Structures are given as C-alpha cells and as structure tokens.
Structure 1
C-alpha cells in the first residue's frame, strides 16, 4: 500500500484564487484552510464533493465482561438494530446533511437480517476475546477486519464517492482506544482513560486498573498491527483499514472522535502521510481525545462536548466541509463580479 504526501505544487495557485474571491484576504478563516487542503487532495482548482458516505463499523469486545463500560455488552447489538431501523443520531444527521450511511457488522455478538443497501455483514467472529487474559484478535482476524474496511471504502469509491467519514459502535471500545493511544503516543495510561459512555469516578478507577493489567500483559509489543491485534477491536481494525484505503484512493477522510482517532493513530504509525488526507471534525468530550489531537498536531472544526461516537461529529461538521469546497469552486472573483479590490 502506497500513501504519498499530498502534492503541494498547486498551493500558490490555490491561495491566489482564494485571495481573488470577493472578500477581504483571509476573511473566511478556517474555511480557506479547508478549501486549500481539499483542493490539494483532489489536485484541482475546482474541488467537489461527490456522493459522500459515512461508514460505521460495529463489533463487540470481550473485555466488556470486566465491567469497563457503563452499559452491558448487549447494547452493541441493540444499537446496530437501531441503525438498521434508522433511529440513531447518526441516521438523523446523515439524512439531514446528505451523507449516505453504510453500517457494517465486523464482529457483533448477534445475528442480523440479510445485507441491504445500508447494512452489510463482514462478521469475523462474535466479538473479540478478553484481552485481560489473551490477545483480542489473532493476526489473521485483525487482517480480515482491515480488509473489511478496505473493501467497503473501495466499494463506495467505485460509486464515485470522494469524501468518506468513519464511525463505530462497540461497548467497551473506549478501553481499546485508550490502550492503543497509550502505546502509540507514549502518554501515561491515566491521561488516556476517561468515562466512556458514562462511568462515574469509581467506574473510571476500576477501568484504569483493568487496562493497566492489559497494558502490562502486552508490554513487549511494538509493531502497530501487533498492538491492534492484541488490544484493539474488530471495528477499530476495520476503521484503520478503511482509512488507509481511502488515503491511497486520494479521498477526503472525515475523522470523528476518540475511537476513530485511535484507529487513525494505528494508520498513522503505519503510513504517516495519511494525515494529509484527514479533516478532524470535532474534539470529543472523552478525556484523552484532546491529547490525541495534540499528538497529531490536529485542529478540530467543532467542540460541542460530544461523546457519542457513531461518526456523529463528522456528520455534523460535513456541511462546513461542503461550504469550503463550494466557496473555492463557485464564489465569484473580484474580476467576475466587477467588484473593486482594496487600494
């Protein structure tokens, strides 16, 4: 897999085009930065948004049996059913903002109906193993989950999608994300562990103690895919594979919150140039996300106190991304509008 840094040869030309729009220079702030980034990803002065998709991967976690979440494991299955029925936040936000939603079961402990236009099954097994006692996935299982992500991204790219967001569902997956963050950033585990779906202070202390055991058990691992196999989840591995494939395809990648950014940390450890293709849509209220963003030198578009997951922050930020593209491609220049520039 080859992910080159974005070719910046057009940068001066794009900046000139932005400066010639009917506005004071730089007056659209972050929108101008976004427009430049997307123009460079697409290598054009007239970038576009085509058939944008949100891919949501779901999987259960064996570690959830250790009481690291405020919700029982069965909620993963129940929420996927909610996605299929169209009743979740991500369904609402995608419908509102023109994103096609595709949900994928890569490891949910439960049986679903047949594949549809909005739901597909790539189930590898019904949940990961309990990483407190053994690796969450075998290397082959992890590779299969990576392939599921790549397959879905290539599928939507074939339908002329050039902007893709990623979301997830999996009770216990903030634990996996915290562990991956700890090992890939080098930050103390305590800075990486938060409330997840709503733990109280006692619950967070218990979660931290369990995760410290897990981190110690797998302390000898350094390779990103070994870490992902031992302490990740099927949905996190699918996210990682999907992001890598999207960058290789030259697509714009919408990065959501804590879990999605943890998957990006793995992808970044494998292919650092992936960051050129990523738009960081929001800063989650989960404790470690701010530290993740700092580590990646990322500036999020929104800070709404969200801690839901599902890709919800990316779906909410997407209209801003679309506005940046339209501004560069459709807004008149001073010459076109017959407007005088400053002296």
Structure 2
C-alpha cells in the first residue's frame, strides 16, 4: 500500500513540475522574445502605409494597410482569424441564395396546399355572412359629439399692465433703473479685480512651491533618474533599421524656420534613419520611408522597476495619483 501511495505522489510531483516549467517557459517567452514591427509608407499628395507586427517566429502576425481604404489582417499559425467585411457579406449572400432555392416539386406541392386552404376558408366565410353586427349608427353619433367638443373657444385678449401704471411714476422708475445698473457694473468690476488679485497670489504661491520642490536634492536626483530612463525607453522603442526622407516647406520662411526649430529637439534621436530637408521658397510636403524595430517586454519592465525602486519617486507618484 505504501509503495502505491509514494508512486502516486511521485506522479503528482512530476505533473506539478511540468506545469511550473510550462508557466515559466511562457513567462520567459513573453519577457525576452521581442515583438517585431515593420513600417512602410509614403505621401505624395496621397497617403499610403503598411504596418506589420509579428511575435515568436510569425506565430502571431497583424498587418494593417491603408491605400484608399483601411484593411487589417490577423493570422495565428498562418491561419486568418477574422475575414474582411466584404468577404463575409458575400458568404452570407451565397448562403441565403442556397437556402432560398426551392425545387419545382416542392413549389407545386406548396401551391396546391395554398389553394386547398383558400377554398376551405371561402366556404367558411360564405356560411358566416349574416352574423356581422350592425353598429354604424352609434359610431356616427360618437363622431358628432366629438366634433362638438372640438369647437374652438374664444379667448379674450388680456389687458396690458402698462395701462394701469400711474402717470407720475415713469421718470422715477427710469432713474432707479439707471442707478441699479451702475451699482451692478461697479460690483462686477470689484469682483473681477478681486479675482485677478487672487489668481496672482495663487500663481506666486505655486511658483514658490515649484522653486522649493526643485531646490530639494532628493527631487533633483529623481528628475535625473527619470530623464535617464526616458532616454532609454525612447531608444528602445525607436526603429533600429530603415531609412526615411521628409521634405517640407511653407509659403512663409519664418513658419518653416519655427517648424525646423521644433523638429530639431527630436532629430538627434533619429538622425541616422531620417533625413529632413526644409524648403523656404514654396509650400511642399512629401515623405517616404521604411523602418524596422522591436519591443521587448522585459526591457520595459526593467525601466519601470528601476523607477519604482526609488523611494522618492514612489512618494511623488502617490501624491499625483491622489
């Protein structure tokens, strides 16, 4: 008896270890196998684009394309999961046509049954013709009484209240109304001035709070840590391979220069894959490129975990969430 129990426990232990191994393997696949993406697109007075995302040797793939209309394709182990709307409509129409096809024999039998039912119902109606109630007179009397009730009633015009006013009250009422208006305008101006003063006080207090927060050494360390982690995140998300070209310009050279200044803040992160050419003498915009990259869940978790390990950042996060 004891060897049998030990053998069963051994099998259960092996099964538990196998399940734990499978769960651990799936977690490792999710964390360390990257999600790869490929982006292709162009714009020459007409937008065209295609994005493809794959994972684990193309076991899962999602392709989205846009050219005059948007389309998406999802495959699992090479099999399409969802059909486009047009194909599903065509399949539904074929099924309806196939279901509505009736053979000649079935149609003849159906028409014969209908004729028999019509003859049987006609005989029944002929036997029951004299049994209909005659209540037309009462119906006419009801309609006459309803018409009488719906006659329009005369409405006497109301006399205006202005006729009842005394002749000596007109000038005094106008003076009182003008005084009331002036007092209301003065009250509004006073209220708006007090509101502006309160806003200036709150802005000054917030400015002092921000300066005190920035001057704190722990907060400075947290800001530097956050900037480093954001830089790592951007580098990880940006494509590793590819080449693109953007040509833009406006009628006003000043606007072109302003846009170029804004783009220069992001350009150091993508200068190897993207070429930007400003045009200052005409309005133009063209773009073309193809890029490849990958996103690994483990790297994202490491960046988030590094920030959460900082005690000061956790305290600030709690305050922001409140």
Which TM-score band (shorter chain)?
Answer: under 0.3
Q: When the two structures are superposed, what TM-score results if normalisation uses the length of structure 1?
A: 0.18
More strand by share: 2
Q: When the two structures are superposed, what TM-score results if normalisation uses the length of structure 2?
A: 0.19
Structure whose CA Rg is larger: 2
More helix by share: 2
